[in-house]
Chains A and B, each alone.
Chain A
Amino acid sequence: MAGRNKLSFEDYCRDVFDLKKIFGKPEALKGIRVLSCTQYILGPSAASYLAELGAEVIKVELPRRGEPMRHTTPFNEPLLYPLSKWIPERGTGLGFFGANHNEYFVSVDFHKPEGQEIVRSLAAKSDVMFENYRAGTFDRWGIGYRQLGKINPRLIYHWLGGFGGWGPGRKRASYDILGQAQGGCFSITGQPLERGGMPSKHTIWIMDYWGGLMAAFQVMAALYWRDHVSGEGDFFEYSQVQGAQRHLSDSIALYGRHGLVSQRWGNWDTLLCVHGIVKCGKSSYPKSDNPQEQEEGYLLVTAHTDADFAKLMKLIRRPDLAKQYAKHADRVKAENQGELYGAIEAWTRDMTKEQAAQALTRAGILNQPVWNSKEVSNHPHFHMRDELHWLEDPTFGDVFSQGLPYHLSETPARHKWALKPVGADNEQVLARLCGFSAGKLKELEANEVI
């Protein structure tokens, strides 16, 4: 410990967050068992964040084909095989990839009474249950919180969905982009109408993945409350569209007080200027055969303080603008921002984003190139920090994966495997937790209960 204090800060961080030491450190959620009766991304991701922290997460899917997200993959092209031992000629799509790390995969048909009995038995021994089927479905099947909470008062039961189980929208089906659209997110993302733009969706299924983060946090807080205060579980409901309003709280405040309806502002910023993304006219890889690399580059330029703005205008040789917009209050006005970004783009017209970045950095101006997924994938910064990593997955082989979204010096999160085929752990989990004999397991499989 004393030795650590002598290291430079950079070396100290590289030491305490050393990815090679991760598996030698304890897990924050050791001993916690989570049942994930979830599909798509909202529910599954919540469970996966806990699996990364060391919880034993059991994913429960319908037998043979598993849950619908396994059948989603970009352009239909990449798949990981086998889908299940029953259907090896088909694979799991990469839509499933980001939300199921470290989990154990059990197939149970909970439409059948014997299946519901299995879920009941598993829930009796679990600390947490996530569920994102239509509100009331599990209650009808006798495996909702009202029933399970009686069997296991320490159970933390988290329902997730689009609109919630009560109120005018309670019956509406929801997908992530419906949440983005109806929640208001689209209305403020994209190029403004005046510049020929349309509302734009986010690359990510953000309402789902981020909603899962919120649910995971809430469950962690519930575990804390249970184990250090009350000894009791709790029931939670999270709706995607509410998440959107939580994101947009500042726009809501502006509407409530001033009647303002926030609009799209493209790649610029409404609060700060200069702080926006500009086009650099040249492609960084003009000879590439991948069309993504053939495109021109883009770059974020951050120069909103008076000093930085002066430096930027000097660099792009516009002393007239330096004088005219010397004050931030003038630069940030809606009617003036276009002129400034136009001037910067005139300067970057014949540059690649790397050339522009180099010139800006040399002049002491903050910038960040807009990287495509290959450029990000190959950057040592993310690999060193375990934020992207190659995983030797025991089932599927060498796969490249997102890493962990935060660092903990003593109980770091970690990835053990990426995912497994449907029902891969049936025998192991059901024998261990439900005491099923070999004969019983065979019978359940034959009847497609598992």
Chain B
Amino acid sequence: MATKTKRKPTIPVLPWPAVPTPTQEEVYQGESDQAKEYALYLESILHQSKNFGKPEALNGLRVLDCTHTMIIGHWCSSLFAEKGAEVIMVEPPGGDPLRDLSPFGREEYMFPAKDGGGKVGARFLAEARSKQSVTLDLTKAEGREILKRLAVHADVLIENGPPGQWDAWGIGYRQLSQINPRLVYCWVGQLGQWGPLKDRPGNLDPTAQAASGFVHGTGFPASFGGTPTRSGWWMADQVGGTTAALGVMAALYHRDTVSGRGQFVESTGAAAVIRILDYNWAWYGMDGSIRPRYGNWDLAINIYGVNPCVDGQIMVGGGHDRLWYRIWRTVGKDRPEVEQHITEDPGMREVTNRLPHHKQVETYTALCEWLKGQTRSDAETKLQAEEVASGGVSFIDEVCEFPHYKYHGHMEVVDDLHYGPVLIGSSAFLAQKTPGRVKWIGRPTGHDTEEVYGRLLGLTKTDLDALRKRGVI
């Protein structure tokens, strides 16, 4: 049944940045030479404009990213790509299914490749940076033979097949390590390739978020009408991809320092999120406490939370007395009766007495009594004048136009050969000598098949045509 198609609004898209990035003069205006010396020194050694002239820490390493459908493996290989490793994505013929996903299925929000290379969705494109793409059908025996030959030339191989699949195919760690003992082989997934809860084919983020306790602990408490809440992005994949990268890097270091051999690495979203879930486990072990959801407030510090205001939400933080009184003093400049109410309450005098939930209700209700008349910008300005940490909840457009982020290089437009100019989150690896960088945005499916197979395996165009005919690539 077709729904009536509404005319979609045309959004005029200004080229980024819509507001010019501040200049160095503007940023350091009014500061003495001595005061700004250190910051300018940092700019001289870290500014991203110099990145491409500097060496790359992982130059010479070769990574085969054979993962698909999830982000965890692509995130992991992105970190290697940013640091200078050569990363080759080995995709099923037809491409990684992740390429085809777009918010709400909207094709108009995809990124077409020039020269008819096909459209790709933003989630895939964001982690295709600086990587090449070849196709290979591993369900065919011939495809697996090619993989074995590729593995000879790789330092790292990442896969996320169903548990035991690659091993059954004869291209698991047990087999590939015989062909290339120096290979670091990494499996990534949600819960594991072994154990009672090992992954079933098709498990995706937020499976790991739900299984680790993260979802249960996020969101507003039931008494506020809240429910367990997942992250707005595939966060377990990103954290798990980072721990995978750390494990692989440790294996590479050990290989080249001591053993000359690779090893089998496994990292899951669940293990990664469990590792970083603060104090859930120690707390449970001590007295059986089960960590409750606490919305945007904090179980351990008051004031430390995000609350509504005129034009959105704002974070205010300051647990110790010094900051507590400064916050109320700021409030008192506009609403002296609210400051008085809080500071006169004997039950708020001791820092530890402010922590129980009901006193937090009193605290934040009073704070919101003030915030209901403040925009994020008003509140931030007034609080920061008293040196209180505070900042509004920003939306993506505000984030992309934020003067500090533009100046500090958090986003950049990469003018890509295939996908045109694309705005992305830059590499977060700032360094004096070996910074991370993004060379290109991505490649259409199989774009580098000929180049890579020719270079690494000596396959000619005739060979490749035949393979293509048989559906192997």
Contact = CB atoms under 8 A, between A and B. Distances in A.
A–B contact via C-beta, under 8 angstroms: yes
A356 interface: no
Given A5-B174, A241-B405, A370-B228, A252 B235 contact: no
B445 interface: no
B50 to A, nearest CB: 13
A184 B399 contact: yes
Give the residue among A12, A145, A182 with the most B Cβ atoms within 10 A: A182
A182 B376 CA distance: 11
Interface stretch (B98-106, B143-151, B363-371): B98-106
Interface stretch (B130-138, B205-213, B338-346, B455-463): B205-213
A95 B215 contact: no
Given A26-B258, A95-B300, A377-B281, A247 B238 contact: yes
A94 B168 CA distance: 44
B350 to A, nearest CB: 11
A181 B392 contact: yes
B72 to A, nearest CB: 12
B434 A234 contact: yes
A376 B267 contact: no
Contact of A275 (B204, B240, B288, B312): B204
> Secondary structure at chain A's binding surface: helix, strand, loop or mixed?
mixed
Interface stretch (B86-94, B187-195, B446-454, B464-472): B187-195
B407 A234 contact: no
A182 B395 CA distance: 8
Contacts of B239: 206, 210, 213
Contact of B278 (A167, A204, A243): A204
A385 B271 contact: yes
B403 interface: yes
A5 B275 CA distance: 31
Interface residues of B, number: 184
A279 B225 CA distance: 13
B122 A201 contact: no
A405 B403 CA distance: 36
Interface in B243-282: 243-247, 249-254, 256-259, 261, 263-267, 270-282
A16 B173 CA distance: 11
B430 A237 contact: yes
A388 B308 CA distance: 37
Nearest to A220: B249
B433 A232 contact: yes
Interface stretch (A253-261, A309-317, A430-438): A253-261
A221 B57 contact: yes
B337 interface: no
A333 interface: yes
B290 to A, nearest CB: 4
Contacts of A16: 264
Given A217-B79, A259-B12, A332-B104, A203 B210 contact: no
B38 A135 contact: yes
Contacts of A189: 218, 229-233
Nearest to A78: B286
B238 A402 contact: no
B377 interface: no
B111 A234 contact: no
A133 interface: no
A288 B259 CA distance: 53
A254 B403 CA distance: 20
B220 A198 contact: yes
B310 interface: no
A10 to B, nearest CB: 5
Given A75-B300, A254-B109, A381-B196, A168 B407 contact: yes
A210 B281 contact: no
Contact of B203 (A13, A173, A302): A302
A282 to B, nearest CB: 14
Interface string B38-52: 111111011000000
A269 to B, nearest CB: 8
Interface in B386-423: 387, 389-400, 402-405, 407-408, 410-411, 413, 421-423
Interface in B24-48: 27, 38-43, 45-46
B123 interface: yes
A177 B105 contact: no
B28 to A, nearest CB: 9
Interface string B280-302: 11111111111111011011110
A219 to B, nearest CB: 9
Given A247-B238, A261-B397, A302-B203, 18 more contacts: A75-B355, A98-B282, A165-B38, A167-B27, A172-B391, A190-B229, A203-B217, A214-B428, A218-B436, A230-B55, A254-B396, A261-B396, A370-B215, A372-B290, A402-B276, A403-B275, A405-B247, A409-B173
14 contacts: A5-B174, A13-B194, A72-B301, A165-B38, A217-B246, A229-B59, A247-B235, A249-B126, A256-B423, A373-B283, A375-B213, A385-B194, A388-B274, A403-B271
